[in-house]
Amino acid sequence: MLQSIRENSKGIIAKVIVGLIIVTFALFGVESLVGLANSEKAPAEVNGEEISNQDLQRGIELQRRQLLAQMGANGNPADIDENQLRRMVLQALIDQEVRLQSAESQGLYLSEAMIDQMIVGTPDFQVDGRFDRNQFEAVLRGAGFTPLMYRDLLRKEQLIAQERNAFQLSAFATEQQVERLLRLDRQTRDIAWAELSLDQFMQTAEVTDAELESRYQEQLERFMTQPQVVLDYVELNQADFVKLDAITDAELESAYQQELARFQASEERAAAHILFEEDAQEQAEAVRQRILDGELSFAEAAQEFSADAGSAEQGGDLGYNSRGVLTGPFEDTLFAMQPGEISEPVRTEFGYHLIQLNDVRNTEPPAFDEMAAELQRELAQSRAEAEYVAALERLADLSFSAGDLDVPAEELGLEIHQTEPFGQAGSESGLASNPRVVKAAFSEELTREGLNSDPIELDRETTVVVRVKEQIPERQLSLDEVRDELEGELRREQAEAALEARLQQLLADFESGNSLNTVASELSWSEVASAEREQADMPSAVNRKAFELPRPAEDAASFGTVRLPNGDRALVRVNAVQDPDLADVDADLKRQMAAFLASRNGQLDYQLHVEALTEAAEIERN
């Protein structure tokens, strides 16, 4: 074969190809050929900065996981609109890039030490209150991140937060704004309301046969039943294959020995440090000498002198850390020290450190008794999973070749179950609540050809095969079948119309200056004097409406109507408005209110800032 290649390579075509490759290398370099295989354009660009396809795919996957978690055990990935998901994630990345560019343009910065401190101080990464690298990596793996990816994400989020906080913390509220808000918040009103029951109007409503017939004819399509099916099905469950008693002592011992072989002991060191600025080596040496002389403890020195605000309050304590967590020179020094030793000043990119080694510990493998129960469960689960997969393959073969479910059920020792009738909308519970089951039940293969379905995975450990037992065709419901439903609707519509007309008449009479007793002596009024906003002893809808009504004129009242949650209506009357005396307002409350208004103003300012940046940005979607 090599000889054939050698002979063919002497032809004119081969020489031309080789010549073109040489010219390409000479003019553009190797990247010209490599780039041909990686020429996919970035999903989007923001002011010339690319949003990578990797970031987009990672964002899509994370969002998909969240959606599936919200959908529950019966969630179907096919129900997720991938195009909409992609657009949503891409827009979020574009918005993030706009805000990040704005933050970086302001010269905002986040040091690696600050990122380290945030990571070490995150409770999700801690075990027994201390940072644990294994926990840290496990949490990141579960979220689809590497440590470097997470650090980059943390940096971006914190830079954006810095600029957002700058807007919020620099905003302010004037004294007039605070006083106006306090007046509104502390304002009280004399409120009265009378409820008009919808049921009273329902009792007098009359529906004729002609009205029923007319409504029925207008909405004939509404009264068509949906086609329904009844299913037979068999269910295969992995839990049925889990047999703890089948695991022998020898298997447990073998599994334990394998765990010991995989176990890697690691050394962890508990340290504390004091951070000094880059030009403070002499100060660091002086503080170290004071500690050695017994003038102050290491923790006291850290609280007084350390520039690391995150650890200073804890006496410089950094907890237990293994190799690979801390910065190079710091880590090298720490792992060369003896317990109780205090280092000379160690220079890193963050400044000078004094390091104290407090303790050294080595992780030990767990005893057999501690792991036996867990190993037994794992072995039984692993065996069950293998048996479940084998049974699933057997179920697929049998259900495909059989003309009913009797054969698969008998071969695999399964029971044949039956569903209640359901339509294409499925049902709220049971097997028909699963969209994949409903889709299969109304497929042509099952409804027309009478076949068994393919195995349908309900979750990771449960699979069913279904078969249509009975089809119930759609039909037109008669007027008699829907009479009660239609009559109730028409009576309610008439009652609501009559109730609304009565309310409008009452409002017109009140606005004309007629007295309460003259206009509506039959109404029963409830009253609350000096009611506050969100008053507890009155309907919340009435309270909200009362504070929306205009201030009443002298010797008059303001009126309005509101719908109550049960469908009744209420006539609302405001007799008087009492303004608060702000002289009695506590100064602390005024400061809190000013801070609230300032923060709200800052949020609005930042939102407008981002909208302006987005509008001005050059955004290209590919």
Cβ neighbours of residue 31 closer than 8 Å, sequence gap 6 or more: none
Q: What is the mean pLDDT of residues 181-204?
A: 91
pLDDT at residue 13, as a whole number:
45
So what's the pLDDT on residue 319?
86
Q: Which residue has the higher pLDDT, 154 or 129?
A: 154
Q: Is the pLDDT of residue 148 over 50?
A: yes
- Closest Cα partner for 348 from 271, 268, 276? 276
Could you count the other beta carbons within 10 Å of the beta carbon of residue 118?
17
Question: What pLDDT does 28 receive?
Answer: 43
The rounded distance, in Å, linking the Cα atoms of 507 and 221 is: 41
Place of tokens 């101080």: 121
Is 0.85 topped by the overall pTM?
no
Q: What is the pLDDT of residues 341-373, one digit of tens each?
A: 999 999 988 889 999 999 988 777 778 887 888
Asked if the model's pLDDT at residue 117 lies above 80, the reply is yes
Q: Judging by DSSP bridges, how do beta strands 456-459 and 126-127 pair with one another? A: unpaired
pLDDT of residue 378: 85
- With a CB cutoff of 8 Å and minimum separation 6, the contacts of 76 are 434, 435, 436
Q: Quick check: 2 pLDDT over 50?
A: no
How many CA atoms are closer than 13 Å to the CA of 605, on its beta-carbon side?
A: 17
Q: Cα–Cα distance between 437 and 284 in angstroms, integer?
A: 71
Mean pLDDT of 56-71: 82
Give the pLDDT confidence score for residue 33 in this predicted structure. Answer: 43
Report the candidate in 591, 587, 603 with the shortest Cα–Cα distance to residue 171.
603
Write down the mean pLDDT value for the chain.
Answer: 86
Q: Which of 222-226, 566-570, 582-586 has the lowest mean pLDDT?
A: 582-586
Q: How confident is the model at residue 40 (pLDDT cuts 50, 70, 90)?
A: low
Residues 342, 350: Cα–Cα separation, whole Å: 19
Which of these, 577, 470, 460, lies nearest to 529 by C-alpha position? 577
Supply the pLDDT for residue 215: 94
Q: Which pLDDT score, from 0 to 100, does residue 382 have?
A: 86
pLDDT at 495: 95
Percentage of residues of the chain with pLDDT beyond 90: 42
pLDDT digits (tens, 9 = 90+) for 387-419: 899 999 999 999 999 989 999 999 999 999 999
pLDDT digits (tens, 9 = 90+) for 428-453: 889 999 989 999 999 999 999 999 99
Specify the length of the chain in residues: 622
- 261 pLDDT above the threshold of 80: no
Do strands 462-472 and 228-237 pair parallel, antiparallel, or not at all (unpaired)? antiparallel
Q: Residue 488 — pLDDT band, cuts 50, 70, 90?
A: very high
Residue for token pair 């795919």: 57
Q: Walk across the sheet containing 462-472 and list its strands.
A: 417-418, 228-237, 462-472, 456-459
Comparing 371 with 475, the larger pLDDT belongs to: 475
CA distance 468 to 447: 7
DSSP string, 529-544: EEEPTT-TTS-HHHHH
Report in angstroms the alpha-carbon separations of 442 from 427, 447, 448. 14, 6, 9
